[in-house]
Amino acid sequence: MSVKELGKVAVLMGGTSAEREISLLSGNAVLAALRRRGVDAHAFDPRDRSVCELKDGNFDRAFIALHGRGGEDGTIQGALETLGIAYTGSGVMASALAMDKWRTKMIWQAAGLPTPRCSVLTKDTDWDAVVRELGLPIFVKPVHEGSSVGATKVTEAAQLRPAWELAAHYDSLVLAEEFIAGAELTCGFIGEEALPLVRIAAPGGNYDYQNKYFSDETQYFCPSGLPAATEHLLQDVVMRSARLLGCRGWGRADLMLGAGDRPYLLEINTSPGMTGHSLVPMAARAAGIGFEDLVLRILALARLG
């Protein structure tokens, strides 16, 4: 698709979620790449402007670089559908499902896809029972947040309630998930093509918000170093998991490789980061796709419905 055919493009960034800071980094990187390629691209922050201005501004396409609620949960996708503006990434239903970690896991479990055991936490939870069921360590996380916002790795039973309180500050629905010992991996995809896996080695095995975006100590390996057969198996699991939710365009799934090379799906991101530390651009480079080409390919897949 030619630059002219892409038309006038709004790069949606910022927003009002807890991931606003990261969204601005992603959006500005995308905006700069599009402009370098001659695309008529403009920054658009839904926090400061009504989305109706997209229609008034005669935009043809929207590149969604919003992260978290309001941008990755089907909300902005529904608005763009109503306005008749083609957009990048998954549609309304898949975006909403993928943003809900608990319901995503239930769908995967129903289809027989591997994912760690979990339990929903409330103020009335029997904390000792959760520890008996899931063991230690346990990951506690808000169901509708990304980028590890509000997430805690619990290593002692006494930490479970404070971890729930932190997560509940961000979300009324909080999930406890069993810890899987093994390699931490992520797999991006563009259209129907899975990208090379990225293996992550974070300080202390804690891939939290700080280590994701601001630490130079976190190590990323791409190629992953896994046997080719194992990598292909994991890529297949990721693509099956994405199709099951109805994902399209592009995205990234996070997973663990446990004992006996058993994969465990953690979650799917339908609007992944595009910062200097982001994993989809890293995997794309390993596949011979530069950042500008990656952005153009994602934008060319923008659609309605």
Catalytic residues: 19, 147, 213, 252, 254, 267, 269, 273
| Strand partners of residue 200 | 184, 220
> Reduced to 3 DSSP states, what percent helix, strand and coil does the chain have, rounded to the nearest 5?
40, 20, 40
Residue 71: partners with Cβ closer than 8 Å, 6 or more residues away: 12, 15, 17, 23, 46, 64, 271
Paired tokens of 259: 């004992």
Please say whether the beta carbons of 135 and 179 come within 8 A.
yes
Report how far residue 304's alpha carbon sits from residue 284's, in angstroms, rounded to the nearest whole number. Answer: 25
Amino acid found at 42: H
Report how far residue 154's alpha carbon sits from residue 146's, in angstroms, rounded to the nearest whole number. Answer: 18
Please say whether the beta carbons of 212 and 148 come within 8 A.
yes
